[in-house]
Amino acid sequence: HGIAEHHEIDELIETLEQTEMSSPAWLQHFKNLKHKVLHHLEDEEQGFFQRAGKVLSESEKSGLGSDYRNMMKEKGL
């Protein structure tokens, strides 16, 4: 289910990139993307991340968190 949602999100991003921002359709595509991303994050927080938290050691969790923060810094986010 999660992989299918990633694919749908990628398709929505592609649609946004191909749509003129001045077009009313752009805002509707953006709203669809926002809804899909928020739904997907909720699913992962309640499922995938909970299971991962039981399997990973504290050191592994900390390392993944550091890697994520560093990646976001590199992207300027």
pLDDT in tens, the chain (77 residues): 778 888 999 999 999 999 999 999 999 999 999 999 999 888 888 887 888 888 999 999 999 989 989 998 998 87
pLDDT of residue 1: 73
pLDDT of residue 41: 87
Domain residue ranges of the chain, discontinuous segments joined by +: 2-74
43-63: burial string, b at 16+ Cβ within 10 Å, e else: eeeeeeeeeeeeeeeeeeeee
